[in-house]
């Protein structure tokens, strides 16, 4: 056994008739916000983890990458406004189980 692990996840979501904010202004400058149904919300998430057990120290080291892409819609003055957001992150975690009584984990992630 080589004491390695690989974990991957890819997930997508699309919502029809999502409740969003519709912002409008009256001629006197008063802002009116009301909920409306709008299409156009989609999201895609991904995750990849590579792990290695270091048996001589009873440590598990995992390197992981995660990403997210989101497209959403709001209405401003009855016109659709599309927002595209994305993020990408890298991280590392170190885990150990010395015995049945003591376990620890140390991790960090940059996005």
In sequence order, what are the beta bridge partners of 6? 50
- Whole-angstrom Cα distance, residue 25 to residue 30? 5
pLDDT at residue 71, rounded to an integer: 95
Identify whether the C-beta of residue 85 lies closer than 8 Å to the C-beta of residue 52: no
Distance CA(34)–CA(56), nearest Å, equals 61
* 111 residues of the chain, pLDDT tens digit each: 578 899 999 999 999 888 998 999 989 999 999 999 988 899 999 999 999 988 766 789 999 999 999 999 888 888 889 999 999 999 999 998 777 788 889 999 998
Give the Cα separation of 61 and 77 in Å (integer).
52
**Does the predicted TM-score (pTM) go above 0.85?**
no
């Amino acid at each position: 056994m080589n004491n390695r692990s690989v974990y991957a996840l890819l997930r997508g979501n699309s919502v029809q008739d999502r409740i969003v904010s519709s912002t409008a202004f009256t001629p006197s400058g008063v802002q009116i916000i009301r909920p409306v149904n709008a299409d156009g919300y989609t999201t895609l998430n991904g995750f990849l983890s590579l792990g290695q057990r270091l048996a001589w120290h009873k440590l598990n080291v995992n390197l992981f990458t995660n990403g997210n892409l989101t497209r959403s819609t709001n209405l401003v003055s009855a016109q659709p406004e599309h927002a595209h957001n994305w993020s990408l992150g890298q991280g590392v975690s170190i885990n150990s189980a010395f015995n049945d009584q003591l376990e620890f984990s140390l991790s960090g992630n940059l996005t």
